[in-house]
Chains A and B, each alone.
Chain A
């Protein structure tokens, strides 16, 4: 027997851990302007393909979508099966085929984040019962072009009471939250919700924004930064984003 065959006797263990990625997406009426919702739908396809290029992420990632428009958030069947609500909101990345999102109504952002946190807690419980650990802390990406409203469409201050809850989740290592604002986003709210991880991405296409999301997923997974304290993880992503933006500016300025 050669040493090669001896090592081949070892069977690589089946993937045991999971990485939960939750996209909390603004589908309020304002997303119809400038064809934003269409651009977001297109970008979601690219997002899946980008992440699938990473063998490790392809193996461990599960994705869920919470859309916020109308008067309340909606848990989307991320497999594209049309279940409403889906029995299991998280689908393996390979089965992530989100339906076309439609934009309408108000911006129940706070309720959407609360719903996302509920989904994470439930999924984590289910996985734990099966002996499946988290590969990394669950990642939540909020993408919005506005500010939170109440059921009547009036601007809401409810986010102020959610902010300390998020800080508690971060300190308890339950999740990391990234707040990404496009044109029209209330940056003060995003800064309040995610003081160390909000990004003003006005002028950036949704394709590029979701590429930034996939890059940050890869970064956090590759460097194990998700197992560090939240500030370290956020700093790692900021460094990457800054680097990318500097490169982009350089390319734009130099033709």
Chain B
């Protein structure tokens, strides 16, 4: 939790962040660790980085891969937003482009350094390969009313507005298994599949970054604009999570919710959410 005063009071106009991650029931059964990672930091007063990464469950070193992705995003945000906050739309576009490039470059550099060091031997896994560290990444820099994000893979992003409505901004695509294999930070086709976006919304009240283990329990479907198409949406009750974050209380309740029977039955995957809400 950040951007709070000496006595734990929220500083108006700044952002408060909570996050939670629960190991998926399927991973527990397989004896796998939680392969998601998340992070947050206040880059400058009022400028926040929020990031989630989802290590591929089928890859042997993806737990480490997701940590590298989060580390890369921290470095990239500090580099791009650490000394100056963009002011004009053009500045933000430029900064977003740099942020994307830095996230990818730093991840590659961290991975290369790790492989060069000789990572720990894993029984039966042979020599480590970059693909063993496969992970997705969703990193967002929020500085109300601006939101800039970069995504590789299938994490999703929901924004909360002052009217208490929640909107899915990234991750509305359905039937992903038809679209080709999930793109990871280690994929050859990564560059062509980075999703980035810039939002300017004076009513921006909060953002939620989630790994795809939360898509099944938390997103709804509705008919899309094209005939016969369907899209994912954030249901009305999604706003309850933002309201919870705005209370600034114990985030472990969030973890417990993700571990309960309803969420466990909805997806065997790890479930991670980071919420940033604007202090009022």
Give me the interface of A with B, judged by CB distance under 8 Å.
Answer: 3-4, 6-13, 15-17, 54-56, 58-59, 128-129, 131-137, 173, 218-219, 221-229, 232-233, 235-236, 239
Question: Known: A11-B235, A13-B217, A17-B216. Is A56-B177 also a contact (CB below 8 A)?
Answer: no
Q: Mark B214-247, 1 if CB is under 8 A from A, else 0.
A: 0011111111000010100001011011011001
**CB-based contact B57/A134 at 8 Å:** no
Chain A residues, CB < 8 A from B203: none
**CB-based contact B265/A55 at 8 Å:** yes
Minimum CB–CB distance from B32 to chain A (whole Å) comes to 7
Chain A residues, CB < 8 A from B27: 222-223
Chain A residues, CB < 8 A from B41: none
> Bound complex: CA of A137 vs CA of B261, how far in Å?
25
Minimum CB–CB distance from B195 to chain A (whole Å) comes to 17
**CB-based contact A173/B240 at 8 Å:** no
Minimum CB–CB distance from B108 to chain A (whole Å) comes to 21
Additional pairs, 17, CB under 8 Å, beyond known A13-B219, A55-B264, A131-B230:
A3-B249, A9-B240, A12-B218, A13-B220, A13-B235, A13-B266, A15-B266, A56-B267, A56-B268, A58-B265, A59-B266, A131-B221, A135-B216, A222-B26, A222-B57, A225-B57, A236-B58
26 A-B pairs within 8 Å (CB atoms) are namely: A3-B250, A4-B253, A6-B244, A7-B253, A8-B257, A9-B240, A10-B241, A12-B262, A13-B220, A16-B220, A54-B29, A55-B261, A59-B265, A131-B174, A131-B230, A133-B175, A218-B29, A222-B32, A222-B269, A223-B32, A224-B56, A224-B57, A224-B269, A225-B58, A227-B176, A233-B58
Complex: chain B residue closest to A53, CB-CB:
B29
Minimum CB–CB distance from B189 to chain A (whole Å) comes to 12
Say what secondary structure dominates the interface of chain A: helix
**CB-based contact B218/A228 at 8 Å:** no
Q: Mark B17-50, 1 if CB is under 8 A from A, else 0.
A: 0000000111101101000000000000000000
**CB-based contact B177/A221 at 8 Å:** no
Chain B residues, CB < 8 A from A232: 58-59
B168 within 8 A of A: no
> Bound complex: CA of A58 vs CA of B264, how far in Å?
12
Minimum CB–CB distance from B39 to chain A (whole Å) comes to 22
**CB-based contact B264/A56 at 8 Å:** yes
**CB-based contact B58/A7 at 8 Å:** no
Minimum CB–CB distance from B11 to chain A (whole Å) comes to 21
**CB-based contact A12/B177 at 8 Å:** no
Complex: chain A residue closest to B213, CB-CB:
A224
Contact partner, A222, options B124, B212, B268, Cβ 8 Å: B268
**CB-based contact B177/A226 at 8 Å:** yes
**CB-based contact A6/B240 at 8 Å:** yes
Give me the interface of B with A, judged by CB distance under 8 Å.
Answer: 24-27, 29-30, 32, 56-59, 124, 174-178, 180-182, 212, 216-223, 228, 230, 235, 237-238, 240-241, 243-244, 247, 249-250, 253-254, 257, 261-269
Complex: chain A residue closest to B60, CB-CB:
A239
Chain B residues, CB < 8 A from A9: 237, 240, 243
Question: Known: A13-B220, A222-B30. Is A3-B174 also a contact (CB below 8 A)?
Answer: no
Contact partner, B216, options A6, A15, A226, Cβ 8 Å: A15
Chain A residues, CB < 8 A from B223: 131
Chain B residues, CB < 8 A from A7: 240-241, 244, 253-254, 257
> Bound complex: CA of A182 vs CA of B261, how far in Å?
38
> Bound complex: CA of A13 vs CA of B263, how far in Å?
9
Complex: chain A residue closest to B236, CB-CB:
A11
